[in-house]
Amino acid sequence: MVLDGRPHRLGHGAVAIAAITSCTNTSNPRVMVAAGLLARNAARRGLRRRPWVKTTLSPGSLVVMDYLRAAGLVEPLEALGFHLAGFGCMTCIGASGPLVDEVAAAVRDHDLSVVSVLSGNRNFEGRIHPEVKLNYLASPPLVVAYALAGTMDLDLVNDPLGHDEQGRPVFLADLWPSAQEIAELVEGSVDPGMFRRAYAGIFDGDHRWRALDAPTGATFAWDPASTYVRRPPHLDGVTAEPPPVADIVGARVLVRLGDSVTTDHISPAGAIPRDSEAGRYLTGLGVAPRDLNTYASRRGNHEVMARGAFANVRLRNQLVPGTVGGVTRCFDAGGAVLSIWRAAQAYQAQATPVVVVAGRDYGAGSSRDWAAKGPKLLGVRAVLAGSFERIHRANLVGMGVLPLQFLPGESAATHGLTGEEAVTVRGLAAAVAEPARRRVEVQADGTGFAVRVRLDTRREAEYYRHGGVLPYVLRTVLRARGSDG
């Protein structure tokens, strides 16, 4: 691989992205000043970032740049490639942009496992960048250090980060600022007035914000042409009274998953790939590939988010062994391998309910409402798992998706479930009505077993009976208005 006119050899563990990012870790002036000092010391020794590393600086607050500028640390950070890219969620939400072209080609051609190192607070699979398999969290100064080293395959304490102009090795200890130096510079450059000035007019916005034509009225003015915000269907067809709680009969398994499936696996937040269902939908509406943006930025568009459900590029669906990404077998299409979204559409066309079967810790990671909304829009009636992350389980109930939990010592494997079975869940009406009977019978092609219904409170049972929290609230409001005459 040739970069900057020189040949380089890229291997597994190479750092492709080094980003000082996220509101979480850039809110601490000490670590930001430490990063700037380390960059200054490295620049003075003649070190530069490795040319295959994409470096960015995107702090959470404008004030960060004020005190870095006052401390004289902006220039040394820029000398190592850490230029300001903006403020707020960027690399940590998947908005890193493309890799260096030659690096991206090498990753694809040689199936390299390259690395991102970031100071953000999220490192789930496929979130930072679809071509980056490994993601490591680090303090801002260590992000700078790994940009200099260009690889994770080194002992950061005992191996040199690089060599100076005389060919002498330069170690992390040679560059690391002292606690006293950091404290003195923070004391001399961080001024409380910076925060007052930055936030005094925070709600005023800039000239572009003030120039926006904001519609008025008591209700939101939905724009059917918008690709970012569309009227969601969550309350379509809601009747005045909830229908009786019905059993789930003849459901097919949409995805069969293992342990520790995160909300990022269920509803990715990172960049929308051009060749994904969401990417094809948007480009079909005339959105340029460079403007696809991230799932997180388009979370107001249910059409995008439904297509993004289970679309994580690292998802491993056991119905399609040996594959990664959002594909499954559709048994209403003869077992054909389709995208999960297309399979869900085929099931809905035949009025076939679908369920998800998973292992332990389903819904781990950051709370994300679309990890419940997305499966709901795909027609998922229930999730049968070994255990649930607490908030995600509640979110499923809030969307009218039933969390079912295997009994202790049991799992899909112990019951011999492959995911190819038709699944029926009986006894739901009684289980919802009576807290003491929160168990139901699951039948799967001749195999029968009891599972626990994870409606943990009476209120949750009411939410589920109404089809979710939104229909529950709507009916409650309508009843209150009716009783007032």
CATH number, domain of 162, equals 3.30.499.10
The predicted pLDDT at position 483 comes to 62
CA distances to 93, 120, 403 from 139, in Å: 17, 9, 37
Domain hosting residue 262, numbered range: 248-267+309-482
Question: Is 98 within the bounds of a domain?
Answer: yes
Distance from C-alpha of 181 to C-alpha of 433, rounded to nearest angstrom: 65
Asked if 172 and 67 sit in the same domain, the reply is yes
Residues 188 and 263 reside in one and the same domain: no
Q: Do 191 and 260 have their domain in common?
A: no
Q: What is the pLDDT of residues 287-330, one digit of tens each?
A: 999 999 999 899 999 999 999 999 998 999 999 999 999 999 99
Q: Is residue 220 part of a domain?
A: no
135 lies in the same domain as 252: no
Q: Is residue 93 part of a domain?
A: yes
Residue 229 structure tokens: 């915000």
- Verify that 254 and 195 share a domain, yes or no: no
Amino acid letter, residue 15:
V
Inside any domain, residue 158: yes
For residues 67 and 128, state if they share a domain: yes
Do 255 and 193 share a structural domain? no
Write the DSSP symbol of residue 162.
E
- If phi over 0 gives left and psi between -120 and 50 gives alpha, with beta otherwise, what is residue 88? left
Answer yes or no: is 46 within a domain: yes
Helix-strand-coil percent breakdown of the chain, rounded to 5?
35, 20, 45
pTM over 0.95: no
Question: What does the pLDDT look like over 42-95, one tens digit per residue?
Answer: 999 999 999 999 999 999 888 999 999 999 999 999 999 999 998 887 887 777
**How many independent structural domains does the chain possess?**
2
Q: Is residue 40 part of a domain?
A: yes
Is 316 a domain residue? yes
* 185 and 256 co-located in one domain: no
Domain at 417, CATH number: 3.20.19.10
* 282: in domain: no
Q: What is the gyration radius of the CA atoms in the chain, in angstroms?
A: 26
What is residue 195's three-state secondary structure?
A: helix
Pairing between strand 327-330 and 248-256?
A: unpaired
Phi, psi of 48 (to 5 degrees): -135, 160
Per-residue confidence in pLDDT tens, the chain, 485 aa: 788 788 888 999 999 999 998 777 788 999 999 999 999 999 999 999 999 999 999 998 889 999 999 999 999 999 999 999 988 878 877 778 888 999 999 999 999 999 999 998 777 777 888 889 899 999 999 999 999 999 999 999 999 999 998 999 999 999 999 999 999 999 999 999 998 988 888 888 889 989 988 888 888 989 999 999 999 999 999 999 999 999 999 999 999 999 999 999 999 988 899 999 999 999 999 999 999 999 989 999 999 999 999 999 899 999 999 999 999 999 999 999 999 999 999 999 999 999 999 999 999 988 789 999 999 999 999 999 999 999 999 999 999 999 999 999 999 999 999 999 999 999 999 999 998 889 999 999 888 999 999 999 999 999 999 999 999 999 999 988 876 65
Q: Are residues 335 and 472 in the same domain?
A: yes
User: Residue 436: its pLDDT value, please?
Assistant: 82
What letters, b where the CB count within 10 A reaches 16 and e where it falls short, cover 74-101? bebbebbbbeebebebbbbbbbbeebbe
**Do 96 and 9 fall within a single domain?**
yes
421 lies in the same domain as 333: yes
Shared domain check, 255 and 186: no
